[in-house]
Amino acid sequence: DAGITQSPRHKVTETGTPVTLRCHQTENHRYMYWYRQDPGHGLRLIHYSYGVKDTDKGEVSDGYSVSRSKTEDFLLTLESATSSQTSVYFCAISEFQGRSSYNEQFFGPGTRLTVL
């Protein structure tokens, strides 16, 4: 299994509070991703990173920010959590995409966030 950990694994917080989720990898993969998964919506990309300090928005980035200061860590921050951000958050990693290789994404165990 790819070495990906997420912390915390579970968190309950109140509306308006800041929350930071951490993804840590030991695979030295270039790409890192944050997804959220909600019933009826599947996995949706929030932000992704293609290198240290290189990040870009996904399809549901509003209300979220990210940072990547080291290859192994990718942080997701909710500046002011809202109830609509209650979800399961998955981090994923992949290697640089070559034209003749899979470069599949490997997923972390997920973080269940509840915003009251």
Partner 1 sequence: GQNIDQPTEMTATEGAIVQINCTYQTSGFNGLFWYQQHAGEAPTFLSYNVLDGLEEKGRFSSFLSRSKGYSYLLLKELQMKDSASYLCAPRGAAGNKLTFGGGTRVLVKP
Distance CA 32, CA 34 (A): 7
* Contact between residue 19 and residue 82 where contact means Cβ atoms under 8 Å apart: no
Nearer to partner 1, 15 or 57 (CB): 57
- Helix (H) / strand (E) element for 6: namely strand 4-7
**In this chain, which of 10, 42, 53, 62 binds partner 1, going by CB under 8 A?**
42
d(CA 112, CA 7): 10
Does the protein bind partner 1 through residue 86 (CB under 8 A)? no
Q: How far is 91 from 74, CA to CA, in rounded Å?
A: 8
Q: Which residue has the tokens 């912390």?
A: 7
Binding region for partner 1 (CB under 8 A) out of 7-15, 16-24, 33-41, 68-76: 33-41
Which is closer to partner 1, CB of 22 or CB of 44? 44
Site size for partner 1, by CB under 8 A?
A: 27
Closest CB to partner 1 among residues 56, 79: 56
Asked if 70 and 12 count as a contact pair (C-beta separation under 8 A), the reply is no
Nearer to partner 1, 14 or 56 (CB): 56
Residues that bind partner 1 (CB under 8 A): 31, 33, 35, 40-45, 48, 50, 56, 58-59, 90, 94, 96-97, 102-110
